Structure 1
Amino acid sequence: MSRAIHVFRSPDRFVAGTVGQPGDRTFYLQAVHESRIISVLLEKQQVAILADRIGALLEEIHRRFGTPVPPEIERVGDLSPLVMPVDAEFRVGTMGLGWDAESEAVVVELLAITEGEFDESVVLDDTDEGPDAVRVFLTTDAAREFAARSSRVISAGRQPCPLCHEPLDPDGHLCVRTNGYKRGAELSKSLDFVDPDVFRNLAMQDDTDYLETDPDDEADPGSDNQD
């Protein structure tokens, strides 16, 4: 059975978006042209990699071919959510990225994850053999917009703790910086592994607000501390 390749040569919209609450979000890419909508499921890290590679590709295009490319942007024009309901065509395995000089378009290809190996030469190719794919052609402006929005979507998750920089959960947060360390204290049996460097690094800090001190460790004011 030949594979399906969903091609969008002039999409009205190609965006990254999520479904779910921070800490439990599912990431999608969605291509829209008029009434045609294709969504694919992927990992947060894949979105970050794609956004980063698109930025690098735009710079390389300008360097090698002299093609004008828009500068990096901070303000994103399209902040609307994904078109609902989101029905994923497939989960993304391999991603391809290229430059179509004839149409001066960045080409993004998303291939379905497969159980076995396949010939990666099928990426950005119309051969009948290989995983299903979504292929999107983006102007340089649209590519820059996609990268900027993707970065914003990624950073819109759980806010980092100002002390330990781990993500904050809506239901609370166990911060290693305020959990304290006391010599001889027994660790919770629910902890399968505790990195000793976490406590070692805490003990070396000057800010004692985050540490508990053992009174036995404090020097006796009347002693000369000479051993």
Structure 2
Amino acid sequence: MPTLVHELDWPDRVVIGTVGAPGQRTFYLQARSGRRIVSVGLEKGQSAALAEKIDELLDGLMATEGNPFSVPATTPVELVDNDPLEQPVDEQFRTGGISLGWDYATAQLVIEAFPIIEIEVDADTDLSSLDSIEIEPPEMLLLRIPVGAARAFAKRTLEVVGAGRPLCAFCGEPMDPDGHDCILSEG
């Protein structure tokens, strides 16, 4: 069966947001074009890595002689988006893999998100053969966004990731509001 592609080209909004309290948050990548909204679940670490790689890619493009793609160094004020996720959040799939690229023809950043795919194996399966299996994902998210929106997306994402529980000064682990059993503190 062919892959169902949730494609949004020049979407009106692309954000990472969360549902739930710090320590129990679920992260979502949400894109809207007109009335169409697509939300995919992902991990906090995936969110942070995506934002960091977007910034790296944009910084590299900006460093190109003459900045031919007009990549902004910071988030354009008019593109700042601090609004919550659009409700209801209907998760299309949980993200397993993400790819990031650049479309020179349209001067857009390209994000592809693929679902987690589970493969059933039995006790007789040669696990070394799994490397050569090609699996067509049942669906995927394909976004193409301009450079200003990409810079705004990365900034917001890093802010959302950093808005979780405070970290312990001793062990670096997240602290809950009702306490923290630090293995490195003396008290």
TM score, norm. by length of structure 1: 0.69
Deviation by residue 1:117-153 (Cα, 9 ceiling, x = unmatched):
6649xxxxxxxx4341111111100000000000000
Deviation by residue 1:70-122 (Cα, 9 ceiling, x = unmatched):
113497821111011111000111111111112110011111111246649xx
Alignment partner of 1:89: what SS?
strand
Amino acid at match of 2:92: E
Unaligned residue ranges in structure 2 (runs of 5+): 120-129
Alignment partner of 2:50: what SS?
helix
CA contact (8 A) 2:40 2:93 kept: yes
- The reply to whether residue 44 of structure 1 matches residue 44 of structure 2 is yes
- The reply to whether residue 91 of structure 1 matches residue 89 of structure 2 is no
Amino acid at match of 1:31: A
Alignment partner of 2:37: what SS?
strand
Matches of 1:109 and 1:165, distance apart in 2? 32
Alignment partner of 2:22: what SS?
coil
| Compared CA separation, residues 175 and 130, structure 1 to 2 (3 A) | closer
Deviation by residue 1:29-80 (Cα, 9 ceiling, x = unmatched):
0001111011001111100111111111112223457432111349782111
Quote the residue 2:74 is aligned against.
Answer: 72
RMSD value, Cα: 2.2
Quote the residue 1:16 is aligned against.
Answer: 16
Quote the residue 2:146 is aligned against.
Answer: 139
Matches of 2:181 and 2:103, distance apart in 1? 50
Give the C-alpha shift of residue 179 in structure 1.
4.3
CA contact (8 A) 1:105 1:140 kept: yes
Amino acid at match of 1:130: P
CA contact (8 A) 1:18 1:27 kept: yes
Matches of 1:174 and 1:39, distance apart in 2? 35
Structure 1 vs Structure 2: percent identity of aligned residues?
Answer: 44
CA contact (8 A) 1:106 1:137 kept: yes
Matches of 1:119 and 1:97, distance apart in 2? 20
Alignment partner of 1:166: what SS?
coil
Matches of 1:168 and 1:69, distance apart in 2? 38
1:158 to 165, 179, 182: 165
CA contact (8 A) 1:74 1:148 kept: no
Quote the residue 1:107 is aligned against.
Answer: 110
CA contact (8 A) 1:27 1:42 kept: yes
Quote the residue 2:26 is aligned against.
Answer: 26
Return the structure number with greater strand share.
Answer: 2
Amino acid at match of 2:165: R
Unaligned residue ranges in structure 1 (runs of 5+): 121-128, 181-227
Q: How many residues align?
A: 172
CA contact (8 A) 2:96 2:117 kept: yes
Matches of 1:140 and 1:146, distance apart in 2? 10
